[in-house]
Amino acid sequence: MRRFFTVGSRSLSYLDFGGPGAPLLALHGHYNEASAFAPLAEALAPRWRVIALDQRGHGASDRAESYDRDDYVADVAAFHRHLEVGPAVLLGHSLGGVNAYQYAGRYADRVTALIVEDIGAVVDVDWSFTTSLPRHAPSRAALASALGPAMPYLECSVRRSEDGWGFSFDLGDTVASQKALSGDHWKDWVAVGCPTLLIRGTRSDELAGDHAREMIARRAGQARLVELPAGHVVHHDAQAQFAAAVSAFLSGLG
């Protein structure tokens, strides 16, 4: 079910996939939105109730003036408060992964476990793909043709408007967000104190294997690494294996 809440003058939207299970809050990456987690929600039900946020500037949530790190973390805090579900498991992919571990590191009493999908403690985003995206196309088919093999990854964010077919995110906002995401976030990663699962795609162009292993080493005894045959969007490329890895991790929390 789609719901909305306000933070200041902005409206944020989220999808509550429902069910009687324990809450798992999910944060998507750039170019995506909450609906990207629908397959995972189905796979984890009924034990887990996935509640996924459309982050600022994405999906049905309002655009924002700023996409800095603290802004995203404040949105996660507001989202969590609004839900009134108490301490919860947090999962994030890419942009959402950094938002998740920064929130977990700064609000330790609110996060019981953390799942980070294919993003590092040091991030260096190449936004050339964003600037190459078409702003509008005359038809869905034309947009799909322009995107080529990237279309399946962006499909949930495709929208029809008065100008034709485009996306539920603004390209300029995305570049600003990607620039703000880049940086050294080791301080936040090592501040996380809860059990953590780091999932990496073996074909990822975002998270190198050596860096992922260093992330685990710096949090020895708290974090574990699972590598799956996938690119950067592991939950898409290896959908069943991703859901199984998440489920196994959650089952081991006791």
Reported as a single tens digit per residue, the pLDDT across 131-183 is: 999 988 999 999 999 999 999 999 999 999 888 999 999 999 999 999 999 99
* pLDDT tens for each residue of 79-128: 999 999 999 999 999 999 999 999 999 999 999 999 999 999 999 999 99
The strand pairing partners of 7, in sequence order, are 10
- To which CATH superfamily is domain 2-124+170-251 assigned? Alpha/Beta hydrolase fold, catalytic domain (3.40.50.1820)
CA–CA separation, 222 and 120 (whole Å): 16
Single pTM value for the model: 0.97
Give the Cα separation of 96 and 181 in Å (integer).
Answer: 10
Whether the Cβ atoms of residue 115 and residue 91 lie closer than 8 Å to each other: yes
In this structure, what token pair is assigned to residue 5?
Answer: 């809440």
Q: How does DSSP classify residue 37? A: G
Task: Residue 254: name the closest of 49, 86, 89, 39 by CA.
Answer: 89
Instruction: Give mean pLDDT, residues 46-71.
Output: 97
Cis peptide bond N-terminal to 46, omega within 30: yes
Write down the domain spans for the chain.
2-124+170-251
CA-based nearest residue to 111, from 126, 92, 93: 92
> Using CA atoms in the order 90, 96, 97, 98, what is the torsion angle rounded to 10 degrees?
-120
* Mean pLDDT, range 181-191, rounded to an integer: 98
Distance CA 180, CA 166 (A): 24
Closest to 215 in 3D by CA, of 230, 198, 235: 198
Whole-number Å distance between alpha carbons of 158 and 211: 33
Closest alpha carbon to 110 in 82, 72, 143, 147: 82
Report whether 105 contacts 192 (CB < 8 A): yes
- Look at residue 203 and give its three-state secondary structure: coil
46-55 pLDDT, tens digit per residue, is 999 999 999 9
Does residue 251 surpass a pLDDT of 80? yes
Quick one: DSSP state of residue 179?
A: H
Whether 254 has a pLDDT exceeding 80, the answer reads no
What lies within 8 Å, CB to CB, of 231 at 6+ separation is: 201, 203, 204, 205, 237
Overall size of the chain counted in residues: 254
- Adjacent-strand bridge partners of 47: none
For the record, the structure tokens of 237 come out as 């490329």
